[in-house]
């Protein structure tokens, strides 16, 4: 605490653009108790406050740790450039929001790893905190640094910067990590002994012990872990500024490019009673005017219509809206459309991913053009006036005809939307088209496939742009250069760590922000460190050779992934196991966790 008294936060905050990012006392924030705390943890998100505070995992783990006996948990985010400069000039260390105490004084620093373009920010966070970047350089006085999140499934590019990495669900594991570390510490054990003890926890990978096999951690049922019903309410607008309730975890639809669909299996639904109860409690505790029912595929919940109906009845007469990330055609019944009236303001989101049925079969996107157009017609006839369509280019086996077909499909979607609304409202119809680039990710059937070279990706983007309808269509692309870097960091091994550090030292920060991203900084770093970035991203791998992440298991067998890749190249689809029976992915047996369908069979 003495260090805190040496500086005046107001003097710094007057120099920055958004001071609300760096102050404490938000509604529902947990104030650290003055006594009785034997262990202090701080949870970090490697981006600015307004992005990190929208992350559901931070809110879940924050509530979980603060409920544990003798544990106090706080939050920290990466300061924007103006604040980082001010802190360095004033010799102010990165501090936790609740207490303003330096992060390096905590027992544990837990860092969420949401995507690869945050890797430079991880180093920025550590450096601002005064914690050595490399785990091997840390002393007994430094906190244990633990990572987790989607990027934990290939931790090797950032392994050098972490003492431990949690692979899988964190609700129970994070408490076990804290308890294990506290026990060893209280017994007088060294930092090294504590880190080695963490390796005995299921799902925890300790890089310093070598490439030991680690099987992902998975909770059995969501019902045993309530949604935080009093989440922290930010002072300022954040990316998703609303109550969020996770209605299910996992997805069994089996899109072959989708990492989330593989690493979060099996499907575990939250019961309808719990969803409604927790949503209402959270709304009362926060004052938000919107509740979002979140998951990888919310409308797949077996009790979806019942949940929407019951929430609509409870919220009738209020200004609170209900939003859903995406909807199936058969989910938009008249009652669902009426209750989801608030969602009409933001629009409907659908992800066809590909323009032809052939390519949709390759990627196992079991959606037809007829189903897509029917969804749009239902939505627009029910009051929606905007739809956002997600597509991907660069997928395995893609041809120019597949790319051009995206524009044709968009044109038919525009026609379907206009035909479903009264003539006088057709001018208000908008179709937003977002086009991302295929990035081969670990633990997917396409993990062995290559991303097309950067020049080829740009050519396909231009090809699509030339053929895209102009009227009523808003077209946007993911940055091709950023997608290339993402592929390098997603597929690389420990050799990439040096390049990450060099890139950060040469100014790489906030690479997910297009105005801040500079590929040349990264290419210079790769060259300086002898990393062949193009080979990592743009060359296919042998399906029977080890990959940098082969020692990490998401529970889905490699044999299944290879079989799915073969089916992809044969143009064959695989059914959703929650509707058509087991498809043999192996996850239930490997993890001892099965599909939990709250409302019974979906078939």
> Is pLDDT of 1 > 50?
no
Distance CA 355, CA 562 (A): 25
4-215: CATH number: 3.40.50.280
Name the β-bridge partners of 108.
41, 144
Domain boundaries, the chain: 4-215, 222-495+531-591
Distance CA 335, CA 338 (A): 5
Strand order in the sheet with 204-205: 71-77, 39-45, 108-112, 144-148, 164-166, 204-205
DSSP strand pairing (243-246 vs 108-112)? unpaired
Classify residue 208 as exposed, middle or buried by CB count within 10 Å of its CB (0-12, 13-18, 19+): middle
> Is pLDDT of 356 > 60?
yes
Model pLDDT for residues 438-493, shown as the tens digit of each residue: 999 999 999 999 999 999 999 999 999 999 998 889 999 999 999 999 999 999 99
- Residue 316 burial (CB count, 10 A): 9
Domains 4-215 and 222-495+531-591 share a fold: no
- List the alpha helices (DSSP H) in 132-172: none
Q: Check the CA dihedral 274-30-195-189 and report its sign.
A: negative
Q: What angle do CA 218, 210, 522 make, to 5 degrees?
A: 90
- What does the DSSP 8-state code read for residue 224? G
Q: Encoding tokens for residue 36? A: 């009785």
- 403 pLDDT band, cuts 50/70/90, is very high
- What does the DSSP 8-state code read for residue 245? E
Q: What separation, in Å, do the N-terminal and C-terminal C-alpha atoms of the chain show?
A: 59
> Is pLDDT of 4 > 60?
no
The mean pLDDT value for 19-29 works out to 92
**CA 477 vs CA 365, 404, 433, 461, 574: distances in Å:** 21, 15, 8, 8, 29
pLDDT of 346 = 65
- 329 pLDDT band, cuts 50/70/90, is low
Q: Encoding tokens for residue 292? A: 């979002």
Q: Which of 394-403, 424-433, 529-538 is least confident?
A: 424-433
3-class state of residue 489 by DSSP = helix
Model pLDDT for residues 262-316, shown as the tens digit of each residue: 999 999 999 999 999 999 999 999 999 999 999 998 989 999 999 999 999 999 8
Regarding pTM above 0.85, the answer is yes
pLDDT of 472 = 87
Q: Tokens 């080695």 map to which residue?
A: 196
Among the listed residues 345, 306, 303, the one whose alpha carbon sits nearest the alpha carbon of residue 323: 345
Among the listed residues 371, 125, 350, 342, the one whose alpha carbon sits nearest the alpha carbon of residue 243: 342
The mean pLDDT value for 506-525 works out to 98
- 6 pLDDT band, cuts 50/70/90, is low
- Residue 196 burial (CB count, 10 A): 16
Average pLDDT across the chain, whole number: 94
- 2 pLDDT band, cuts 50/70/90, is very low
Q: Check the CA dihedral 256-258-263-265 and report its sign.
A: negative
> Is pLDDT of 5 > 50?
no
Distance CA 591, CA 201 (A): 14
Model pLDDT for residues 230-242, shown as the tens digit of each residue: 999 998 889 888 9
Contact 539, 450 (CB under 8 A): yes
- 76 pLDDT band, cuts 50/70/90, is very high
* CA count, 13 A, side-chain hemisphere, 200: 10
**CA 471 vs CA 175, 386, 388, 432, 516: distances in Å:** 54, 14, 15, 11, 31
- 384 pLDDT band, cuts 50/70/90, is confident
DSSP strand pairing (290-294 vs 243-246)? parallel
User: Which H helix or E strand runs over 111?
Assistant: strand 108-112
Name the β-bridge partners of 525.
none
Classify residue 257 as exposed, middle or buried by CB count within 10 Å of its CB (0-12, 13-18, 19+): buried
Which CATH superfamily includes the segment(s) 222-495+531-591?
tm_1862 like domain (3.80.30.20)
The mean pLDDT value for 381-403 works out to 95
């Amino acid at each position: 605490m003495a260090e805190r008294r040496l500086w005046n936060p107001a003097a710094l905050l007057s120099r920055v653009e958004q001071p609300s990012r760096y102050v404490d006392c938000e509604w529902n924030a947990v104030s650290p108790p003055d006594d009785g705390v034997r262990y202090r943890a701080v949870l970090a998100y490697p981006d600015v406050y307004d992005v990190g505070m929208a992350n559901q995992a931070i809110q879940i783990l924050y509530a979980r740790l603060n409920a544990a006996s003798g544990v106090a948990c706080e939050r920290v985010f990466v300061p924007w450039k103006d604040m980082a400069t001010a802190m360095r000039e004033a010799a102010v260390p990165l501090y936790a929001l609740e207490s303003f105490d330096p992060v390096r004084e905590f027992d544990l620093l837990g860092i969420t790893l949401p995507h690869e373009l945050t890797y430079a920010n991880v180093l920025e966070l550590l450096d601002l905190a005064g914690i050595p970047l490399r785990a091997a350089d840390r002393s007994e006085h430094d906190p244990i640094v633990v990572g987790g999140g989607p990027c934990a499934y290939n931790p090797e590019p950032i392994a050098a910067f972490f003492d431990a990495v949690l692979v899988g669900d964190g609700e129970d594991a994070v408490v076990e990590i804290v308890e294990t570390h506290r026990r060893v510490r209280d017994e007088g054990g060294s930092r090294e002994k504590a880190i080695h003890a963490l390796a005995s926890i299921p799902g925890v990978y300790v890089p310093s012990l070598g490439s030991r096999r680690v099987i992902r951690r998975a909770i059995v049922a969501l019902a045993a872990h309530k949604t935080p019903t009093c989440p922290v309410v930010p002072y300022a607008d954040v990316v998703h500024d609303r109550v969020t309730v996770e209605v299910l975890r996992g997805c069994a639809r089996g899109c072959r490019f989708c990492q989330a669909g593989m690493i979060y299996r099996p499907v575990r639904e939250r019961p309808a009673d719990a969803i409604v109860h927790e949503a209402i409690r959270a709304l009362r505790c926060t004052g938000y005017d919107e509740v979002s029912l979140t998951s990888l595929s919310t409308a797949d919940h077996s009790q979806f219509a019942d949940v929407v109906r019951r929430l609509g009845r409870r919220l009738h007469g209020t200004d609170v809206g209900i939003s859903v990330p995406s909807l199936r055609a058969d989910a938009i019944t008249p009652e669902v459309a009426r209750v989801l009236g608030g969602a009409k303001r933001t629009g409907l989101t659908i992800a066809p991913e590909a323009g032809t049925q052939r390519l949709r079969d390759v990627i196992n996107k079991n959606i037809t053009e007829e189903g897509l157009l029917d969804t749009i017609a239902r939505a627009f006839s029910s009051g929606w006036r905007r739809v956002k369509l997600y597509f991907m280019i660069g997928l395995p086996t893609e041809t120019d005809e597949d790319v051009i077909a995206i524009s044709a499909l968009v044109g038919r979607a525009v026609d379907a939307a206009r035909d479903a609304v009264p003539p006088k409202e057709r001018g208000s119809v908008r179709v937003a088209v977002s086009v991302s680039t295929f990035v081969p990710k670990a633990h997917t059937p396409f993990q062995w496939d290559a991303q097309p070279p950067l020049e080829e990706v740009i050519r396909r983007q231009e090809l699509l742009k030339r053929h895209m309808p102009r009227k009523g269509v808003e077209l946007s692309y993911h940055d091709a250069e950023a997608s290339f870097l993402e592929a390098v960091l997603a597929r690389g091994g420990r050799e990439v760590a040096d390049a990450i550090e060099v890139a950060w030292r040469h100014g790489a920060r906030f690479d997910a922000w297009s105005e801040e991203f500079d590929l040349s900084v990264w290419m210079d770093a790769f060259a300086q460190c002898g990393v062949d970035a193009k080979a990592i991203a743009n060359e296919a791998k042998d399906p029977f050779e080890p990959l940098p992440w082969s020692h990490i298991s998401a529970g889905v067998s490699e044999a299944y992934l290879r079989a799915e890749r073969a089916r992809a190249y044969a143009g064959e689809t695989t059914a959703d196991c929650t509707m058509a029976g087991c498809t043999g992915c192996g996850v239930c047996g490997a993890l001892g966790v099965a599909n939990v369908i709250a409302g019974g069979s979906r078939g």
